[in-house]
Amino acid sequence: MYKRLPIGLFTLVPAVVEAADAPNETTNTVAIFCFLAVIGITVVITYRAAGRTRSASEFYVAGGQISGTQNGIALAGDFMSAATMLGITAIIFGSGFDGIIYLIAPSVAFAMMALLMTDRLRAMGRYSFSDVVSARLRAPPMRVLAASATLVSAIMYLVLQMVGAGALVQVLFGIDYKLAVILVGALMVIYVAFGGMLATTWVQITKALMLVSGILVLAFLSLLAFGFDLEALYAQALARHPKGELFVRPGGLDLGFWGALSLICGLIFGLVGSPHILMRFFTVPDARSARQSALVAMILVAVVNLLILVIIAPAAIALVTGNAQYLDETGAVLGGANMVSIHLSEIVGGSVFLGVMSAVAFATILAVVAGLTLASASAVSHDLWANVIRRNQAGEGEEVLVSRIATGFIGGLAIVLGIAFEGQNIAYLVALALTVAASANFPLLIYSMYWRGLTTRGALVGGWLGLLSAVSFVVLGPAVWVNVLGFAEPVFPVSYPALYSIVIAFACIWLFSRFDRSAEGQKDRERAREYLGQF
């Protein structure tokens, strides 16, 4: 029933080589070899996984047979996206100390998952976030809401991955940015459509181990360049940072108290509510393995983030700033600020290490893109098609087929949006993407798992208002209204709007549930006793 990966798809590789043959000073033979090797490894993983994916459970959650440690590594891989290696370094490179907010948030989020959520997620869901929020409420309208929130947040997150991948491949091969984004989108569709969660998991594990190893080596070589003298490294970074002392004290992002709080809330609660992260807790056999997954992920992410903050970002400031070899004719960094960690790898490790780290960064992006696409496709096939449109009458083969078709459409949309958002800082974009997950998904999850007073009416009104307010604030804010659409001033002046849309969602869900006197509301409260009484 399920076909293996067509051999014809390997024709993508010669296309990359042909594009790279064009003479360009950024083209690097070693980098090209490493890049193609990564593609080869991940396609082989997908080919093997395709032969083992025969049911909906295997397609969505790998049959629940991934171990806690394996899933923890894959979970860390899901989070350590283009924003981690490329975007956060770029934030510190441009704005200094305030970038620490992006590095602290994931540790808090994974701790929340391990302590508050894993047991209840496992007990209330099968495949996805939608299963959890519809378990004790009227399922069809809740699945529509949950699927909509999943699609919006996942597609926004996809955009930043495409931006990072496009910039990376553009610099590495000297090919057009649009072609680079199309290439990444095509590979993304291949991984998900044919390999499902099993392939995505092993691609994530492979990529996470490569990323941690690469970051460790990059940190070591960066210290070696300064004779392992941190004082000398920091002195040079402080002298060259464009914002001077804001490299070592807050204020570089010009957030103020409420702006900083809004950014922190968006990052933490958005990560906890990210659909592609939540799906990972259904790939393990039991709740104990789910908790282990969160703890393993927290440790790996903390190690990588600490190295970026303490060594890699300061070294990038010290060695890339003012280095003519990595600047264009206007004095800007080649490929944009997102590429400073890639340029650093060449400075401290030469062309060979440039190739390795470029391949690692590309693998990072491909793996996260695959997880996001799978979460989006499952929202269409499992929540909308199988449970709402077909009313649980769709067979497993039909459901997986719809998921694969949806993967193609989602890939096309991600390519279009990735081209539209060219040049945007990907750490900034991740904050906006997580704003949607924090405003729509997180409140529904917390209320569903902990509050017996939640009703379908309250969840629908508050959930939709949270989703629509988050999307509106993002579109009308500086990132889209000014930077993408080209207007002079934003309609909504706040760069990080999560705090406002989160408050709207939480308040409205509580208010409309609290005063819901309908017969359906009473039934929702009775079902809550059944579901929550087991904890």
Instruction: Indicate whether 472 belongs to any domain.
Output: no
Q: How confident is the model at residue 387 (pLDDT cuts 50, 70, 90)?
A: confident
Q: Which two tokens stand for residue 374?
A: 């799978």
327 forms beta bridges with 333
Contacts of 382 (CB under 8 A, 6+ apart): 56, 60, 127, 128, 130, 399, 403
Single pTM value for the model: 0.77
**CA geometry: angle 499, 465, 281, nearest 5 deg:** 70
Residue among 21, 420, 366, 373 nearest 203 (CA): 366
pLDDT computed for residue 57 by the predictor: 60
**Average pLDDT, stretch 342-354?**
86
Report how far residue 457's alpha carbon sits from residue 320's, in angstroms, rounded to the nearest whole number.
54
pLDDT computed for residue 221 by the predictor: 94
pLDDT computed for residue 384 by the predictor: 81
Say if residues 362 and 36 touch (Cβ distance below 8 Å): no
Say if residues 447 and 454 touch (Cβ distance below 8 Å): yes
Identity of residue 101: I
Helices marked H in 54-176 — which ranges?
Answer: 56-61, 68-79, 82, 88-95, 100-112, 118-124, 129-134, 139-173
Q: How far apart are the first and last CA of the chain?
A: 40
Domain harbouring 259, CATH code: 1.20.1730.10
Give residue 218's domain range. 7-415
Longest dimension (CA), the chain: 72
pLDDT at 38 over 60: yes
Tokens 């004290």 found at: 249
Instruction: Indicate whether 376 belongs to any domain.
Output: yes
Instruction: Indicate whether 469 belongs to any domain.
Output: no
**Average pLDDT, stretch 272-288?**
81
pLDDT computed for residue 2 by the predictor: 38
Instruction: Indicate whether 492 belongs to any domain.
Output: no
Report how far residue 74's alpha carbon sits from residue 206's, in angstroms, rounded to the nearest whole number.
8
Domain count, the chain: 1
Residue among 374, 443, 425, 365 nearest 404 (CA): 374
State pLDDT tens for residues 48-93: 766 665 556 656 555 567 888 888 888 887 777 656 777 778 778 8
Instruction: Indicate whether 485 belongs to any domain.
Output: no
Instruction: Indicate whether 526 belongs to any domain.
Output: no
Instruction: Indicate whether 90 belongs to any domain.
Output: yes
Burial of 452 (0-12, 13-18, 19+ CB in 10 A): middle
How long is the chain?
535
Instruction: Indicate whether 14 belongs to any domain.
Output: yes
